[in-house]
Amino acid sequence: MNETWEQVDGGKTRKAPCSPAGAVCDQSSPPLPLSPSHFQGPGAGKGWVLSAQGITKRYDAGDRKLDVLKGIDLKIRKGEIISIVGPSGVGKSTLLHILGTLDRPTEGEVTLDSTNVFSLSDEELARFRNETVGFVFQFHRLLPEFTALENVMMPRLIGGARAAEARKPARELLERVGLSDRMHNRPSELSGGEQQRVAVARALVNRPMVVFADEPSGNLDAANSRALHELIWDLSRSFGQAFVIVTHNLELARNSDRMIRLADGQIASGTV
């Protein structure tokens, strides 16, 4: 793992590795201006926070081609909670990664916050991602050598904030997710449910437009799973962030604003 920036917190200076949580890894360059052409994607100016059109994804494995996504159109409103369901291997994670700009589609466009994202260079996209989207994964992917507070500060620090600036919103979010007294613990000292709440706080710290969660409760028991989903609902309503959640839990999926079922590379049900 690359070591790309130094964190100074509480008098300690340590090298932090690139965040594996989808945040940018290149923090050395100054902010990149986005040209006007980046603001002319298909969903620009029409009230959608995200608009995806004609998304396909083909994996090449030698002479075997796997068409995982075969033309996905999807629009997401500000503050909307969308769940994505479907059998294992159907392409849920692939779709989530493309919508969240972690991966590029074979064909198709994604407009996020009025920006035609795949027209950006990798470097521009990394910066845009850090500012615009958040991620929560099934396994928390917190950095083990840092405390909960430091983990939540991380996306802000990567975005160029000083430690003192990053600490305040990180603290507030940890309080909001019920972890006021666990801020200085490392991930290994937290329960699975607590670790996921830290991961949710980290996903929200840059006030992203959309948070993508890939089976965030897949590793939790029923009670913690329900609590995590309720927390996500609550935060989305409070902060107006859209959430796109891949889940196997149909009961929780039905509680979202919209449930999308993937089958054979396409959206089988759900209003687009």
B/e letters for 175-189, b = 16+ CB within 10 Å, e = fewer, are ebbebeebbeebbee
Binding piece for ligand ADP, criterion CB under 6 A, among 20-28, 60-68, 135-143, 157-165: 60-68
Binning the chain into helix, strand and coil, the percentages to the nearest 5 are 35, 30, 35
Which position among 11, 28, 30, 61 is part of the footprint of ligand ADP (CB under 6 A)? 61
Please answer whether residues 233 and 211 qualify as being in contact, where contact means their C-beta atoms are separated by less than 8 angstroms: no
271 binds, among Mg ion, ligand ADP, none (CB under 5 to 8 A by kind): none
Stretch of 29-37, 38-46, 89-97, 219-227 lying at the interface with Mg ion (CB under 5 A):
89-97
Give dist(CA 236, CA 253) in Å, integer: 15
Question: CA-CA distance, 166 to 140, in Å (whole number)?
Answer: 20
**What six digits make up the tokens of 249?**
């839990």
CA 133 to each of CA 21, 128, 212: distance values in angstroms, whole numbers, following the listed order = 11, 8, 7
CA-CA distances (angstroms) from residue 161 to 124, 183, 229, 242? Answer: 18, 19, 30, 24
Q: How many residues bind Mg ion (CB under 5 A)?
A: 2
- Given candidates 3, 10, 14, 59, which one binds ligand ADP under the rule CB under 6 A? 59
Residue 117 DSSP symbol: G
Dihedral of CA 261/263/269/272: which sign?
positive
Instruction: Please say whether the beta carbons of 184 and 149 come within 8 A.
Output: yes
Using the rule CB under 5 A, is 241 a contact of Mg ion?
no
Token pair 């620090």 in the structure block, residue: 157
Interface segment toward ligand ADP; rule CB under 6 A; list 12-20, 28-36, 42-50, 84-92? 84-92
Residue 63 binds ligand ADP, judged by CB under 6 A:
no
Shortest Å distance, C-beta 139 to Mg ion: 12
Which of these segments, 84-92, 101-109, 179-187, 248-256, binds Mg ion (CB under 5 A)?
A: 84-92
Task: Establish if 208 lies at the interface with ligand ADP (CB under 6 A).
Answer: no
Query: For residues 52 and 90, which CB has a smaller minimum distance to ligand ADP in the complex?
Result: 90
Cβ-based nearer residue to ligand ADP, 31 or 87: 87
Does 169 sit near ligand ADP (CB under 6 A)?
no
Residues numbered 12 to 41 that lie near ligand ADP (CB under 6 A) are: none
CB of 93 to Mg ion, least distance (A): 3
Q: Judged by CB under 6 A, which stretch of 58-66, 117-125, 140-148, 232-240 contacts ligand ADP?
A: 58-66
Does residue number 93 form part of the binding site for Mg ion (CB under 5 A)?
A: yes
Nearest-approach distance from CB 172 to Mg ion, in angstroms: 31
Nearest-10 Cα torsion for 76, 239, 132, 108: -10
Report the partner that residue 59 touches, choosing among Mg ion, ligand ADP, none (CB closer than 5 to 8 A by kind).
ligand ADP
**CA–centroid distance for 214 within its chain:** 8
Q: Six-digit token pair at 203?
A: 């996903």
Q: Quick check: helix, strand or coil at residue 166? A: helix
Give yes or no for residue 93 binding ligand ADP (CB under 6 A).
Answer: yes
The pair phi, psi for residue 126, each rounded to 5°, is -60, -40
Q: Provide the binding-site residues for ligand ADP, judged by CB under 6 A.
A: 59, 61, 66, 68, 86, 88-94
Binding site for Mg ion (CB under 5 A): 92-93
